[in-house]
């Protein structure tokens, strides 16, 4: 087997083995398949990443699949989001054989609906980029020879080079900071808008920590620069009702009593784990800088022991506080998932970011 990879003629004589199969952009699926994939998105990806409201996703499905007159086609923005949701929703159905269309076909179709105004919609632009990042966790989003990839590259290149998940989430961070989403004093007076801004920011944070840690890249924002709090621990329908009453966040928190686990529980648990992993990388980066110098090396064993013990205790407290779902509806609600995340968090990680 080793000789195959040391053969200097392998690349020249077996070009087809080194190329990914070309997948063309696809059209919208049938109403039945579209509803199936949207529901897969809501029952899986949305559980961990609720940066779009559930009612928004359902309304989008209606506009694209059910309510569009022949002479009034859906807007490019609606089609972009619909195809991205289809792409994310199709990841596992395609792998397990319950859906035949490759997710990349939906992704490439979404890129065809990116316009020159893609990055000018404020919070909506960040949400659109987060959809790309969410898909990028499971599938390639990088450059290719297709026109759709060229469109993505042409839209985003003025802001950065490359189209990896880290590049896209870095752009999300820039937009978050420009809009002040990391600050506690955000001028938005709309209750729902303020809640969605917090959801979007912490979703950016979660993917930023994930991608930066995975690739050994710098974080998009330092934890010390983050002032904003978590969004409300409430189901989407409760937020919609509160928003109709024009109530502010403080009044909502005083009156809203949560007796059961809300649909935000998995999201909060995931973000808190990323906060701990961020502290782990920060601490060991500091250790690498300060305690491996010859003048400080004799302090290193004690510092490593106390730091590691404290961080392991934080991880264990996180696991102890993880939500328990009596009837898990997806992987993110299972106890095995939290056990896996705890084990991953305790593994040795790169010391630089």
pLDDT tens by residue, 167-217:
899 999 999 999 999 998 665 568 889 999 999 999 999 999 999 988 888
Range of the domain at 313: 264-353
In a domain, 307, yes or no: yes
Q: What is the mean pLDDT of residues 273-294?
A: 80
Q: Which of 129-138, 146-155, 288-297 ranks highest by mean pLDDT?
A: 129-138
Tell me the DSSP string of 114-162. --TTTT-STHHHHHHHHHHHHHHTTS--S--SSHHHHHHHHHHTTT-S-
Say if CB 206 and CB 271 are below 8 A apart: yes
Domain presence at residue 60: no
What is the C-alpha to C-alpha distance for residues 222 and 219, in angstroms, rounded to an integer?
A: 7
CA 98 from chain center: how many Å? 24
The answer to whether position 112 is within a domain reads: no
Among 22-26, 76-80, 315-319, where is mean pLDDT lowest? 22-26
**Percentage of the chain surpassing pLDDT 70?**
75
For residue 281, being part of any structural domain is answered with yes
pTM of the entire predicted model = 0.85
- Residue 8 pLDDT grade (very low, low, confident, very high; cuts 50, 70, 90): low
Q: Is residue 291 in some structural domain?
A: yes
Number of domains present in the structure of the chain: 1
Q: Using 50, 70 and 90 to split pLDDT, how confident is the model at 256?
A: low
Q: Which residue has the tokens 């407290």?
A: 317
Asked if the structure places residue 294 within a domain, the reply is yes
Q: Per the domain annotation, does 276 fall within a domain? A: yes
pLDDT at 263: 93
Residue 351 lies in a domain: yes
């Amino acid at each position: 087997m080793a000789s195959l990879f040391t053969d200097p003629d392998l690349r020249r004589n077996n070009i087809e083995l080194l190329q990914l199969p070309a997948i063309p952009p696809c059209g919208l699926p049938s109403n039945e398949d579209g509803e199936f994939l949207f529901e897969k998105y809501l029952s899986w990806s949305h559980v961990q990443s609720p940066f779009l409201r559930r009612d928004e996703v359902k309304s989008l499905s209606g506009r694209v699949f059910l309510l569009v007159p022949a002479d009034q086609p859906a807007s490019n923005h609606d089609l972009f989001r619909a195809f991205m949701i289809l792409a994310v929703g199709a990841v596992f159905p395609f792998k397990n054989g319950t859906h035949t269309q490759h997710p990349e076909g939906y992704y490439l179709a979404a890129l065809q609906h990116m316009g020159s105004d893609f990055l000018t919609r404020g919070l909506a632009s960040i949400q659109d980029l987060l959809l790309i990042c969410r898909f990028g966790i499971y599938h390639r989003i990088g450059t290719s020879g297709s026109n759709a990839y060229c469109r993505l590259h042409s839209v985003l290149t003025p802001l950065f080079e490359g189209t990896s998940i880290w590049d896209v989430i870095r752009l999300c961070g820039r937009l978050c900071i420009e809009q002040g989403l990391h600050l506690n004093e955000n001028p938005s007076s709309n209750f729902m808008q303020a809640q969605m801004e917090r959801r979007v920011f912490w979703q950016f944070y979660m993917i930023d920590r994930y991608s930066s840690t995975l690739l050994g890249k710098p974080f998009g924002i330092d934890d010390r620069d983050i002032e904003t709090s978590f969004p409300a621990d409430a189901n989407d329908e409760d937020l919609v009702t509160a928003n109709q009453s024009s109530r502010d966040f403080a009044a909502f928190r005083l009156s809203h009593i949560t007796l059961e686990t809300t649909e935000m529980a998995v999201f909060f648990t995931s973000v808190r784990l990323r906060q701990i992993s961020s502290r782990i990388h920060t601490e060991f980066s500091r250790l690498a800088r300060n305690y491996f110098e010859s003048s400080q090396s004799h302090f290193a064993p004690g510092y490593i022991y106390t730091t590691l013990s404290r961080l392991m205790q934080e991880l264990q407290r996180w696991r102890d506080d993880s939500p328990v779902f009596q009837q898990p509806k997806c992987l993110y609600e299972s106890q095995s998932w939290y056990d896996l995340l705890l084990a991953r968090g305790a593994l040795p990680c790169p010391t630089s970011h």
